[in-house]
Structure 1
Amino acid sequence: MHIVPDNILLHLYTRFLLNIPKELKEDCEKNFVRTFFEVERAHWFYVDYCIEDPSVGGVDMFGLTQQLFAKFPSIVPKGTNWQEKFVEWKKYRGSTATGSMIIIDEHYKMILLVQGFYGNRWSLPGGKINQNESLVDCAAREVMEETGLDLANRISPSIYIDRHVGGTLRRAFIIEGLPRTSRLKPGTKNEIEAITWFRIANLPIHTHDIAPIETLNSKPSNFYLVIPFMRQLKLYIEQRLSGKHAGLALSESERLCRYSLNCSIHQHPAVNNLSYARVNATITPSKKPKRNKKSIGSKSPNQSLSEDGKVGEKSRIWANLNVPTNAESGRCGHHNYHISNCVAHIRWYLFVPTFVSKRRNSFFCH
């Protein structure tokens, strides 16, 4: 285990555990589990400001707790098994609600996702709620920390999608119309490695969705924190593009989302309207659509992106887009549905600012 230098331990102890307000100290004495919230704040500070070489890494929350309590045993009351209390705190912390944002670009085609510094999974910018903090304030604070975007004034408290993942409430507020030219830079160190605009059409709606494998060369499991929101989000955007205001679009997308769960993913026409899949077929619930084996695993023009090496420069992208037509219609249940798309091959240019840490030498636009 990595050993934290004594001077850093002393600084963390003095800053976060010794000189805390009197009422907070009394609260910690009555309920020792409360102490771990202060240790967590110390660990965040340690990760942000005390790790000189992120590639080497440091200690996790448990490791820092262990070293702090060994160095300053007076923190732990006599007769208290701090490891049992730590497990109790972890269970409580794991059930803490999270606030995040679904940030949609001005063309309703992309959303902003972030990737943690020590993993390859993508998620919505956001995080866990602090004590006595509202979910709105939590989402605004976390997005500011992770992306550098101050969107507090753009949050509509009633426009959000709720999901329960592992018994934990995850609330994502919907923010529309953010220009892709917005400057992206995290406000904390060693937490966010990359901030990237992803095409909504390319993101999976379930764990067995092959869309990210074919278009992003990435496993659906890398988006498991995003998947619970994607089905309703695609329906919401469809409603917004049809002219409905946000509140009505949200309620209608929720209704359609519940309805679609009773149908096969391949049979419900509303679920994948934004997937830009090449479809020109008549499908019945009793007949499965034929899959073109040659198309699976084959590369398409929109899978490649020329690297400029510089953030903010024009990047040439080859896109294979399907333009939805008014001929699209669909029914679910025991009825047939027909989908017809007009396929257009377009060579286009985008100005997409993307943050990438020093550890990564390329930037992305998915």
Structure 2
Amino acid sequence: MLPSAEVLDDLCSRFILNVPAEELGSFEKLMFLVEQAHWFYEDYYRDRDTRLSSMPLKAFMGLIFQHCPGLAPFAAQRDAIHAQFTAFKQSVPVMGAILLEPNLEKVLLVRGFQAAASWGFPRGKVSKDETDAECAVREVREETGFDIRPLLVEGDCIEMHIGQQRSKLFIITGVDERTHFAPLVRGEIGGFAWHLLADLPATKEAATLAYHTPDGSRHKFYMVWPYVKQLRHWVRQRRRQGGGVAAGKPVAAKALANADPAPAWLARGAEQAQEGAVTTHVQAPPEPGQAWLKFCFNREDILRHLPAVR
């Protein structure tokens, strides 16, 4: 069941109409508001009424644009708008953390909320006026409930560019495996698990293979493999320095340098290709303040067409 006009009125009022005028001055800012409205719809409205249909952002955009006369002229260009917004988001820097237990053998991964979601490191996009470390602390806490601030060392990190997006993951050590993790945000995180670093894929080709556990569950690590090789190198260096191992516990005998990039339960015989560069081709984002596709939104025009939700 699609959301009613009353629901759409409420969403427009909450996230589009009652914001400072400058938030409607650029298209990317307005689209972030539409995205927030989408999250609110999925997390709260559908939780209260299970008859409501779940929908991807592009479909939700179409409903919002059609419902708000001030945005209606752009409804026909929904696909182009969505493509431009996706490209822009891929250019926003991403920060997060790699959480390791004291022996540096296992790493914490989080899985998205959807059943088919991939495993990855807790991370998210940088907000305005936020430092890399501040963003990482905030995102990890939102997705796991764990505060990495006391353990964060600015120099312990892996930074890279994937396509046009800069990403940095701070390496956090000494996290107890018995730690209870729970997200502070709804509808984003569906699971937590400690994974052996030696078993994670280190190439793009290995990550595209079907990873199955003995019970038949399928696991995907598309957002993990670019960091694995550097992380293993960092762990080897830390071991040489004698750090990172809990007192009284021996270093694991299996050398990470010789670890198979594929999990032990992956069917053997799969051909492993040479590790390649990470490449993502996206359309160049606009310069700051430049509106996409020469769109221009007038807040007063939007308000005038929706008197019922003023």
TM (normalized to structure 1)?
0.60
- Corresponding residue of 2:172: 175
Aligned runs of 1:1-366 on 2, under 5 Å?
Answer: 3-21=2-20, 25-29=21-25, 31-52=26-47, 58-75=54-71, 83=78, 84-118=80-114, 119-209=116-206, 216=213, 222-243=220-241, 272-273=257-258, 297=267
Give the whole-Å Cα distance in 2 for the aligned partners of 1:110 and 1:56.
40
Q: Give ranges in structure 1 of 5+ residues lacking alignment.
A: 247-268, 278-294, 299-366
Deviation at 1:70, TM superposition (A): 1.4
Aligned residues: 252
Higher relative contact order (CA 8 A, sep 6+): 2
- Structure having the higher strand fraction is 1
Counterpart contact for 1:105–1:177, Cα < 8 Å: yes
Deviation at 1:101, TM superposition (A): 0.7
Output one character per residue of 1:195-244: Cα deviation in whole Å (capped at 9) or x when no partner: 1111111111113449x978856999811211111111112112212226
Deviation at 1:50, TM superposition (A): 2.2
- Structure having the higher helix fraction is 2
Counterpart contact for 1:202–1:275, Cα < 8 Å: yes
Give the whole-Å Cα distance in 2 for the aligned partners of 1:51 and 1:141.
26
Counterpart contact for 2:101–2:176, Cα < 8 Å: yes
Counterpart contact for 1:147–1:184, Cα < 8 Å: yes
Deviation at 1:110, TM superposition (A): 0.6
Q: Give ranges in structure 2 of 5+ residues lacking alignment.
A: 245-253, 269-310
Give the CA RMSD over aligned residues: 3.4
SS of residue matched to 1:111: strand
Counterpart contact for 1:48–1:188, Cα < 8 Å: no
Give the whole-Å Cα distance in 1 for the aligned partners of 2:219 and 2:164.
19
Output one character per residue of 1:107-126: Cα deviation in whole Å (capped at 9) or x when no partner: 21111001112224111111
Counterpart contact for 1:204–1:220, Cα < 8 Å: no
TM (normalized to structure 2)?
0.70
Deviation at 1:37, TM superposition (A): 1.3
Counterpart contact for 1:234–1:274, Cα < 8 Å: no
Counterpart contact for 1:99–1:172, Cα < 8 Å: yes
Give the whole-Å Cα distance in 2 for the aligned partners of 1:94 and 1:173.
20
Change in Cα spacing, 1:276 to 1:193, as seen in structure 2 (3 Å) is closer
SS of residue matched to 1:13: helix
